[in-house]
Structures are given as C-alpha cells and as structure tokens.
Copies of this chain bind each other. A is one copy, B any other.
Amino acid sequence: MLSVAEIVTLAQRLQQELQANPGSHPFDEILYCNIGNPQSLCQQPITFFREVLALCDHPAILDKSETQGLFSADAIERAWQILDQIPGRATGAYSHSQGIKGLRDTIAAGIESRDGFPADPNDIFLTDGASPAVHMMMQLLIRSEKDGILCPIPQYPLYSASIALHGGTLPTGWGLEISELKKQLEAANSKGITVRALVVINPGNPTGQVLAEDNQQEIVEFCKKEGLVLLADEVYQENVYVPDKKFHSFKKISRAMGYDEKDISLVSFQSVSKGYYGECGKRGGYMELTGFSPDVREQVYKVASVNLCSNISGQILASLVMNPPKVGDESYESFSAEKDGILSSLARRARTLEDAFNSLEGVTCNKAEGAMYLFPCLHLHQKAIKAAEAAKIAPDAFYARRLLDATGIVVVPGSGFGQVAGTWHFRCTILPQEDKIPAVVSRLTEFHKGFMDEFRD
C-alpha cells in the first residue's frame, strides 16, 4: 500500500526537483490537494481574529495611541475583555486544565446561540485542536482490545490511528444507514467486542456530505438504544455550501428530540483549524461533553491535566470563532466580507471540481455539500487494476501516483480512509486558490483521459 506519508514525501521530492531544475517535470508547481490546511494554500487569516491574538500576546501596547491607528476598536475592546477573563491578565500562565473559565463561558454562550439549547461552561474542555481531544476520548473509552469504536467508512484516518494507538478495535461499515450500523454492531458483538461509541463526522471527511436531519435523529436514537457514546466530529460546522442543507449539532438534534443528559452521552468536537478561519497552526479547539457521570468527567479532567493546559492563543481563538464580531461592531462589515468571501469561494471551487470530476469517463463524484473535500469514485479498467497489482500498490494509489507524476496534483488514495471492497476513490481538497482551479481541472482532465486510454481493456 502507498501511504499518505509516501505520497507527500514523493510530492516534496518533486518540488525540490522543480526548484533545482525548473522544467524537469511536465508541470511548474506542486498543487497540494491532500490536506485540509487552507492557509498553506494562501487563504488569508481573518483580520479581527489575528488583531485580538496579537493584542493578547503583547498587551503592553493596548493603551498606546499608535495602537488605535493599527487595530480596530472592537479588537482592542475584545482583547481587554479577554484579558479581564484571565486571572492576573497573565496570558503566559498555565490555565485551568479545562481552559480559561471566562473563555469557556463565551464558548458555551456561542453554542447556546447556535443550538437554542443551554450549554454549560463546565462541559467544555479546551484542547490543542480536535486531534488531542479525540485521543483523550479514545484513551478513556478503550480499556482493552475487546473494546471497539464503531467508525462508518470512509473516515478520516485520525480515528483509526487513535484507536490503534490505544489498543482498541475498529469495526467499520459503509455509511450511516441505521441498518448498516446495526449489522456492524452485531458483527462486532458476535466477536466478543464491546462497542463503546460511534464516530460521526458531520459535515463529512472525506465525503463532504452534510447529514440530513432525519438521519441524525436515527443516529441519536440508535446510540441511545444501544448505549453508545456518540462522538460527533463537528469541526466543519461552518463549511456548508448548498442552500438545501444546514449544519445541526447532534446536541441540538438530541435535545430537540426531548433527550437530555440522562438519555445520551455525547461529545462534540470543534476546532479552529477548519471553518472559514482555517487556523490549523494555532492548535485550538474544544470538546463539549454531555451525559457523562461525574466519575467519567473526573477521569477526563485527569487526562486533560496531564499536559497541564492547552495553549492560551488557541484557547482565545476558540472563543473568537464561537463569538465573532456582531452587527454593529466596527469590524463586522470587513469581518463578514472576509468570511463570506472565503466561504463563497470554497463553494464555487467545490462545485467546479465536482462538475469536473463527474464529467470524466468512469468517475462518479458525490455532491460537494460541505467540509473541504471531494471523494470521487474511480471505475477503472481491469488493465489498470492489473498494472497496479504488478506495481504492488492499490489501484487508487496507482492512480494517485500517476496523477502526481504527470500533473503535480497531490491527492490521497481512498484506501487511506476505508472504502467498500472493490471500489476505488481519492480524496481531493477544494482548497487550491480559486485562480488555480481551472489549471487543476484541465491538468486532471487531460491526465485522466490519457490514463483511461492507456489502460483500456
């Protein structure tokens, strides 16, 4: 199997070769469509967020006159508010291991206003991005290899990696049909596996689907009935590109169904790395835990304490994404313009790539509803599959490597995410700069035609 790391290593080698010998390859730059890392592809950070972070990093300038000329008034005001929430205004001190209480208050208020149901700041655990939060939960849920976490595939490999790291078992099945989930659960049980939780990524990674409300309700019902913890990866909550779909948190769905803390154990993961903000390098995020016993909460707190606290800039940023500028704030218009600019451009890019994939021979691509990815399915000729076998790699990895060699476009083979046996996919982000999308489409189209012709049975 050709791993993601190997594809990236190959891409980096090609990039070095291009730098050393321009013209050494049939393309002049590497286009990284393999990872949801928007700012590495020139997406600009949201000005208001960065203003507040800079002011909190160097509060000494807050009351200097030059600062008024450099920073917006509401960023200055917000920085003061945040500093006042930090004991001693010490942005360089370890915080409470769950995160600064005042910032958790802000986040809880943001969740309430998003969902229309109450949120408790004591349920919030601020973390260095969503990944450490996922690891914490896996560490707590998995007691031995007899414990399993149900992960519908295709799925972001963080989950399989984390489950493996903590010595658990990973029953998988395609999609989020309840009948399918039941089948997987029963199969796991019959092997002596205690399934402890279900992972749902919504909007989806790698598929970009946004779950329908009734599917979400069925999932809640299923978890409640089977006593599973629902691990809701909701980091793409701001990334919805189609008018007929909306993001609903699983907490909102379950509360609207009349279920409360005693009915269902629910973890919602959020991150500053995705959305319109894309602040991957800041390592901020949180998880909201509801429906757990004080005992379990105590355990989560203990695990959180081991690393002392998450980084304060990430904590501040998590509070900002859950409480951005409001109508009437000085920054509101420019903030909205930046936000809408990014999201509408992402929507256009998603649509263009989706159409392009669907116009290719033997390719069917899911609708680009949300998140940052497309996951086209490749119907390859037998000759291509045999050629991959001969090269000792999966057919989709074979395709991805050929694509990279011919075009400089880096995608992730579907085998990394899990896929129905005998089907082949790749994951392609929608993140290249908008003015590069036509080149992506034309290079990809040309490559694909050649590939299909070369391996026509």
Which residues of A are in contact with B by a Cβ distance under 8 Å? 5, 35, 37-42, 45, 47, 50-51, 53-55, 57-58, 60-61, 64, 66-67, 69-71, 87-88, 90-95, 128-129, 131-132, 135, 158, 161-162, 165, 273, 278-283, 305-314
Contact = CB atoms under 8 A, between A and B. Distances in A.
A128 B128 contact: yes
A278 B92 CA distance: 7
Contacts of A129: 307-308
A387 to B, nearest CB: 29
Given A57-B50, A58-B51, A70-B66, A281 B92 contact: yes
Given A42-B88, A307-B131, A307-B132, A94 B281 contact: yes
A310 B311 CA distance: 10
A5 to B, nearest CB: 8
Given A42-B88, A70-B67, A312 B95 contact: no
26 contacts: A39-B88, A40-B87, A45-B92, A51-B58, A53-B57, A54-B54, A54-B57, A54-B61, A57-B313, A61-B70, A64-B69, A66-B66, A66-B67, A66-B70, A90-B281, A92-B281, A93-B280, A128-B311, A132-B307, A135-B306, A135-B307, A280-B308, A281-B312, A282-B313, A283-B308, A311-B313
Total identical chains:
2
Nearest to A313: B313
A131 B128 CA distance: 13
A5 B279 CA distance: 33
Given A58-B50, A88-B42, A283 B311 contact: yes
A296 to B, nearest CB: 17
A127 to B, nearest CB: 10
A50 B91 CA distance: 10
Contacts of A310: 128, 283
Contact of A93 (B37, B71, B309, B314): B37
A161 to B, nearest CB: 6
A317 to B, nearest CB: 10
A53 B135 CA distance: 29
A309 to B, nearest CB: 7
A61, A91, A93, A165, most chain B CB atoms within 10 A? A93
A39 B93 contact: yes
Given A39-B90, A57-B57, 19 more contacts: A39-B92, A39-B93, A40-B93, A40-B94, A41-B88, A50-B58, A53-B57, A54-B55, A54-B61, A66-B66, A92-B282, A93-B280, A128-B128, A128-B307, A132-B307, A135-B306, A283-B309, A283-B312, A311-B314
Nearest to A277: B92
B37 A161 contact: no
A40 B88 contact: yes
